[in-house]
Structure 1
Amino acid sequence: MGTGHGHGHGQATSESDQRWLAGALAVIVVFMLGEVVVGLLAGSLALLSDAAHMLTDAAAIALALWAIRLAARPAKGRMTYGWKRVEILSALANGLTLLLLAAWLTYEAIHRLINPPEVTGGLVLVVALIGIVVNLAATMMINRANRSSLNVEGAFQHILNDLFAFIATAVAGLVMLLTGFARADAIATLVVVALMVKAGYGLVRESSRIFLEAAPAGLDPDAIGAALAARPHVAEVHDLHIWEITSGQPALSAHVLVDPGEDCHAVRGDLARLLADEHHIEHVTLQVDHCAPTVLGITDGVDHCKDPHGKEHRASAGSVTSPS
């Protein structure tokens, strides 16, 4: 029996990325404190909702920074993958926060649509315009970090949605200033809610896929299994699993049966190169065995695995069958 293991490290979040995130955090916190004061004075739900969203923005960035530092710890002891999944936990938390905040703002906005309070439109407009500048700066900072990390993307979505929120708030403030239509404040909040739900759902979906060990987007297990089975001297591939350790770090494991008399180590090396070159999977674990001469046709099952997981990919015309 032969085994092989290739190692891939994905795209790490650099120290410069952390500096961009820290800079965005400082900008957000300073403005958030000022916005709370003005929102209370103006009686604006849109401003207070923006401030609440900015609080989650600050928490999202702080959580992302903490997750980055924790994920950088080396693998040891029981943490055989290290702490890399903490970044996905951070992304999931950011997504859930967006959805929960959206639910609360929806309730408040509907209440204000029914009974609109008096809102100081001019003050709302001024603060919103400042908020656009502040959030645009923060968005540009985080955009320069490594957004291939779902953790960084979660923080980015928080800030980007807050930018949209300020744009909607500015429009609402202008409408109230020119027409006195107080419900514009609540309508602007509902627009922001729609954007928050979209971003939050996307983060929850992608992080959940990683936690459920689903194959990453763009990697088709059936196609990869067939490609492996079609390589020279490979009789069958089964127990094929493809997942992500963390965002940008795909991993694969499989049980490979090799024709009798062939070099298992050479076959394993060929398959590892195929996976790295064609599919960019470098963290690979392959269990490689010779199939017994008496079961070359492999029609009566595989002695090595009494209960193989998933489909069996066989060398005969690249066929794929389900395990019995």
Structure 2
Amino acid sequence: MSQQHIKSHSEDDDHNHHDEHHHDHSPHAHAGHDHAGHDHSSGAHSHAPSVTEANEKRIRIVFLMTAGYAAVQAVGGWMSGSLALIADAGHMVSDAAALLLALIAYRVAARAPDELRTYGFHRVRVLAALANGAALLLLVAWIAWEAVARFRSPTAVLAGPMLVVAIIGLCVNLAGAYVLLRGNQGDGNLRGALLHVLGDLLGSVGAIAAAIGIMLTGWTVLDPILSVLVAVLVVRSAWGLVSDSIFILLQGTPRGLDIKGVEADIAALPGIAEVGHLHAWTLTDTSIVATIHVTPAPGSDPLALPELVVARLKNQHAIEHATVQVDPPGGIQKPCANN
């Protein structure tokens, strides 16, 4: 008997996306997963995040504010001699980059696939995140080196200009938080952007405290101390970007997805005798792709299995794009222990 191949792709229902209206299809705690839809008119699969134009506009505004203030802060740090301001500018750059990546997800990743890039341009965002994270790690290394040098030989810091720049930063971050809080909190990208802005706000508060402390006590060592604390925040963000990007590029199993549990769940469906060769990976942080092999139970209709499995993977495991292959009984070969 020749092997029978029957394949099916998941198809999302058509949705009308209006401003301030966003659907979270995931039944599990997959934070920030805005699942993809499909372009039925062209037949091409679209994995772009579902997003409202209003939320995209809010993130664009906050990105411009954050990037603009990061430049002001870097110049202010250089002029005042404050390493803490320069370090916080790096933190602001990391958050501006995160906002930019969200905008890339909305725009670049939404471009239609072609014959050379059948999955579209989603990995552009991942590559940008990897480059951003690597650059920030280099910045942190420089900040740490400079901070050690300042501990050994304290450098004069102009606390007045430092305080002015830090207060401007506090105002910028408060305005950014206000803009994002008025958006639709069902949008994972917007929620992530809000967390970044709140982190920047705490950095501004720290810079204000350090400037006041230097003005009152003359302890310029407060500046490198704060710069190290801010650098720790940058390391956390940068390492997260690098590790997550590498994990996605290596097509690792999406975090929180239990492969054995999913296979057992599919095997329990009516009409299925065997399940195997389940492979799942993340296209971006917003779209999970999977392939799976099943064999029909005696008397079951093999043509009905792909639709059944696809629906289960989507509704119970947040896998929006699945390819199901139906093999003849005994056709699923178990992997060897040393493979």
TM-score by length of 2: 0.77
Equivalents in 1 of 2:338, 2:73: separation in Å? 61
Counterpart position of 1:217: 255
Secondary structure at the counterpart of residue 172 of structure 1: helix
Counterpart position of 2:116: 78
Secondary structure at the counterpart of residue 89 of structure 2: helix
Equivalents in 1 of 2:146, 2:191: separation in Å? 30
Matched, 1:3 2:7: yes
Gaps of 5+ in 1: 292-297, 311-321
Equivalents in 1 of 2:335, 2:72: separation in Å? 57
Secondary structure at the counterpart of residue 319 of structure 2: coil
Displacement of 1:140 after TM fit?
4.9
Counterpart position of 1:23: 61
Equivalents in 2 of 1:105, 1:120: separation in Å? 19
Displacement of 1:7 after TM fit?
3.5
Counterpart position of 1:319: none
Displacement of 1:161 after TM fit?
4.4
Q: Which moved more, 1:52-61 or 1:189-198?
A: 52-61
Counterpart position of 1:124: 162
Contact 1:259/1:290 (<8 A) preserved:
no
Deviations 1:226-273 (A, max 9, x none): 111122232211111111222221122111111344210122222222
**Pairs within 5 Å for 1:1-324:** 1=4, 2-7=6-11, 9-10=35-36, 11-55=49-93, 57-58=95-96, 61-62=99-100, 64-141=102-179, 144=183, 148-149=188-189, 153=192, 159-291=197-329, 298=330, 302=331
Contact 2:90/2:136 (<8 A) preserved:
no
Counterpart position of 1:294: none
Deviations 1:291-322 (A, max 9, x none): 1xxxxxx5xxx4x65xx558xxxxxxxxxxx5
Secondary structure at the counterpart of residue 116 of structure 2: coil
Q: Which moved more, 1:53-62 or 1:173-182?
A: 53-62
Check 1:221–1:55 CA distance in 2 against 1; reply closer, same or farther (3 A cut): closer
Aligned pairs, number: 299
Amino acid corresponding to residue 228 of structure 1 in structure 2: I
Secondary structure at the counterpart of residue 74 of structure 1: coil
Equivalents in 2 of 1:205, 1:141: separation in Å? 30
Secondary structure at the counterpart of residue 70 of structure 1: helix
Displacement of 1:178 after TM fit?
1.1
User: Which structure is larger by alpha-carbon Rg, 1 or 2?
Assistant: 1
Amino acid corresponding to residue 103 of structure 2 in structure 1: L
TM-score by length of 1: 0.80
Check 1:260–1:212 CA distance in 2 against 1; reply closer, same or farther (3 A cut): same
Displacement of 1:194 after TM fit?
1.1
Counterpart position of 2:42: none
Displacement of 1:45 after TM fit?
1.7
Displacement of 1:80 after TM fit?
0.8
Displacement of 1:118 after TM fit?
1.1
Equivalents in 1 of 2:71, 2:300: separation in Å? 70
Equivalents in 1 of 2:249, 2:132: separation in Å? 15
Give the superposed CA RMSD: 2.9
Amino acid corresponding to residue 3 of structure 1 in structure 2: K
Counterpart position of 2:30: none
Displacement of 1:223 after TM fit?
0.3
Contact 1:238/1:256 (<8 A) preserved:
yes
Equivalents in 2 of 1:55, 1:210: separation in Å? 23
Displacement of 1:158 after TM fit?
5.8
Secondary structure at the counterpart of residue 6 of structure 1: coil
Equivalents in 2 of 1:156, 1:89: separation in Å? 23
